[in-house]
Chains A and B, each alone.
Chain A
Amino acid sequence: MEYAWLAIGLPLLGSIINGIFGRFLPKKVVGWVACSAVGASFIVSLLVFLKMLGLAEDGRHIVSTLYTWLDSGGFRADMAILIDALSVTMMLVVTGVGLLIHIYSTGYMADDEGFSRFFAYMNLFVGSMLLLVMAENFVLLFVGWELVGICSYLLISFWYEKPSAAAAGRKAFITTRIGDVGFTLGVVLIVTTVGTASYDAVFGRIIGVGSGTAAAIALLLFAGAVGKSAQLPLHVWLPDAMEGPTPVSALIHAATMVTAGVYLIVRAAPIFAQAPWVLALAAGIGAATALFAATAALVENDIKRVLAYSTISQIGLMFLAVGAGAFAAGMFHLVTHAFFKSLLFLGAGSVMHALAGNTDLRKMGGLAKKMRATYAVMVIGALAMAGIFPLSGFFSKEAVFAGVFEAPFFGRVMYAAGMAVSVLTAFYIFRLIYKAFHGEARMDEESWQHVHESPKSMIIPMLLLALGAICIGWIGLPSQIGETAIAGRNVFEEFLRGSVSAAVFGHEAISQWWMVAAALGAGLLGIFAAWCCFVRFKGITGVLVRKFAGVYAMLVSVFWIDWAYERIFVRAGKALAVFVAQKVDVGIIDGAVNGIAGCVGSVSVMLSRVQTGYMRSYALAILAGAVVVVGYALFILK
């Protein structure tokens, strides 16, 4: 299975080539290099997947070691990858969706000066993400974790001359850093208590570790997941991260990097199983975030920010699922979300491309007439997200809710929250669709003339993603609903069973017919409400906004969280930095150094007064010394 390393190596190679030689190569070559690197990686992932299918269920666990990386004292960490069902799933998602997005980017970024730089970063990201999901030990996972953080920073502030982009990149990096501190401490704690970082060894020995320590480890790892996946309270960076180019938002901030937190929890499930309350916390935070972000998306006017909050909300649902112990359901939703969310982002990019960079929903409208393909794929993506049968979102959401309902702690409450989120999700995504594509054009005449469909390089990946959004659901058909057995099998869950313990809490999640109906109903209700507000009775929203002005203000400012963070943390941080720079660095440290130099100077001036130039004073000194020596010799030495 050594060729699996190529999956990581080829994108890194592509990144190096584009990074160093990119500006001397024509754009076509750069695009080809980048896309073929990811494409080759995808082929490798497919080959690995096919090989996995051929193995028996308990044989789907292969470790491939390249070399021993760290070996000091008793601690050892190898450059090794683990190929099992979970990592293969992530590999396919990352490389597959990544490939389509790379192809899309060749069209989207065609006019940009930093074309080769963009693709160098994107390839680097794909390589790093693969390293993250394929790592065999926590140390290598950490390396991948940090690398994707760097790539995210580089790509968010891609147009670095824009101050808002640079600020957004910094915000993203710093906020995820806070979570990463927890993550680092968690890894350190693992190594100190268990003595190794390798997954197999850690999960084998974790039962012997005290429950308090295991809970601490789980909590720390969870902190890292919260930061990376933009959950409460570290969610603030994701909406601002939309400053980056749209393909970046699609790849990193929808499909892959932000799901790394979910991956981490599923991967480290044996650790979390030792401290179930941390899983309960994860579920709680997931539910709260999902609800909170959905409400924020209701009032956003920037098309990309709506999708950003939507991402936060959907990942909240994933956290809810894994927190309730339904790991397979959470992963399933991760896969389907990757498809329809990146599809929505690419569609938004297509709209922005047509409107010359405009992202304000209030200035769009009526685009459906002129951009048929984009409109079609966006609707497909929206339907998938709303959970409408028979698209993929329906099946994944249904699996999530089935798992949540049976959860041992607050299962019913979380289920109710999830239902509310479904309604809101459907509402806001169709709000977006109606505002952007339906009705009259709210932009000026010149822009309207400029509206055109996007080139083939952008349309074709979107079509392929739409296909995925429609079809991918069929791998996760529930095996039975209620008492009725369905013809299908939950192939996905079976595939994962080798590596993911689906039954942490010892119960099987079986969905009931009424749950299916409720899920479908929630989605349809949301769509209907949106249709009412934005198509049929256009005035309702205005009335609602005026009546509930306070609530509206709260939602628009996202519960004043950003405002609070700015006041509390950012200003304090700046004040501290200024203090240290001026008082401590200049005053104390420089002062000490200069002071010593000054002291030396003045002491030497004082001492130089001894050299009077008068011979007699020298003679006096000699005599004084002689007196001392004679006294010493006569009285002390005897």
Chain B
Amino acid sequence: MTAELVVFVTMGAVAAVTAAAVVISKNAVHAVIYLVINLFAIAVLYLALSAQLVAFLQILIYAGAIMVLFLFTVMMLNMTGAIEMTDDKLSKQKPLALMLGLLLIAEVVVGAVGLLNQPSAVAIGEGFGSAKEVGNRLFFGYLLPFEITSILLLAAIVGSVVLARRKDDD
């Protein structure tokens, strides 16, 4: 019963449950909160896997910024109610989706987990997962994708400004 296993089981359970809750909950605000908790749990798992920078980034950006954005939108558009009360036009969607989902899980579990022989983990160095290491890798191996990502961000910024402005002021 190593610590790692305990952490995994607890945080994994939390993550799984909140993920399900996001999908099931009728209230949008509740769903956002559940997702935030899910992100936190995942961040803890990252820490267990020695990915410190990514864990912090997850909390800072993902849970901190993106989810707040979601919350803002929900509040602004007042989408708290449940549309799901109305009739579903695509009646076959639910059973089909569930079936496909189960199929996919079965495939992955059987294929990836069951059939792959899993060698033991390679030993890691001291600064593994630190900001320095990530920066090293990023700027010395993946510089081009980094630059392109910045352009992507620029496009996103411009896009959202254009999308959200009102029509009457030009």
Contact = CB atoms under 8 A, between A and B. Distances in A.
Direct A–B contact in complex, judged by CB atoms less than 8 Å apart: yes
A617 B107 contact: no
Nearest to A630: B107
Nearest to B112: A634
A620 B93 contact: yes
A627 B103 contact: yes
A634 B111 contact: yes
Q: Dominant SS at the B interface?
A: helix
Contacts of B93: 616-617, 620
A503 interface: no
Contacts of B112: 634
A448 B82 CA distance: 116
B100 A620 contact: yes
Contacts of A577: none
A634 B90 contact: no
Interface in B92-120: 93, 96-97, 100-101, 103-104, 107-108, 111-112, 115
A25 interface: no
A178 B100 CA distance: 74
Interface string B60-101: 000000000000000000000000000001100100110011
Contacts of A617: 90, 93
B100 A624 contact: yes
A623 B97 contact: yes
A634 B114 CA distance: 11
A545 interface: no
A627 B104 CA distance: 6
Interface string A380-424: 000000000000000000000000000000000000000000000
A635 B97 CA distance: 22
Contact of B108 (A623, A624, A630): A630
Q: Dominant SS at the A interface?
A: helix
A626 B90 contact: no
Q: How many B residues are at the interface, by size bracket?
A: 10 to 19
B93 to A, nearest CB: 6
A233 interface: no
Interface in A465-503: none
Nearest to A612: B90
A616 B90 contact: yes
Contacts of A634: 107-108, 111-112, 115
Contacts of A627: 100, 103-104, 107
A16 B153 CA distance: 84
Interface string B112-137: 10010000000000000000000000
A178 B90 CA distance: 72
A614 interface: yes
B129 to A, nearest CB: 28
A627 B93 CA distance: 16
Contacts of A616: 90, 93
Interface string A288-305: 000000000000000000
B100 A614 contact: no
A123 to B, nearest CB: 85
Interface in A600-638: 612, 614, 616-617, 620, 623-624, 626-627, 630-631, 634-635
B90 A614 contact: yes
Nearest to A626: B104
Nearest to B115: A634
A588 to B, nearest CB: 43
A620 B107 contact: no
A616 B96 CA distance: 12
Nearest to B88: A616
B108 A620 contact: no
B167 to A, nearest CB: 24
A626 B111 CA distance: 15
Contacts of A623: 97, 100-101, 104
A630 B97 CA distance: 16
B67 to A, nearest CB: 22
A631 B107 CA distance: 6
Contacts of B103: 627
A293 to B, nearest CB: 88
Interface of A: 612, 614, 616-617, 620, 623-624, 626-627, 630-631, 634-635
The 7 closest A-B pairs by CB, nearest first: A634-B111, A627-B104, A631-B107, A623-B100, A627-B103, A630-B107, A627-B100
Given A617-B93, A623-B101, 17 more contacts: A612-B90, A620-B96, A620-B97, A620-B100, A623-B97, A623-B100, A623-B104, A626-B104, A627-B100, A627-B103, A627-B104, A627-B107, A630-B104, A630-B108, A630-B111, A631-B107, A634-B112
Interface of B: 89-90, 93, 96-97, 100-101, 103-104, 107-108, 111-112, 115
5 contacts: A623-B97, A624-B100, A627-B107, A631-B107, A634-B108
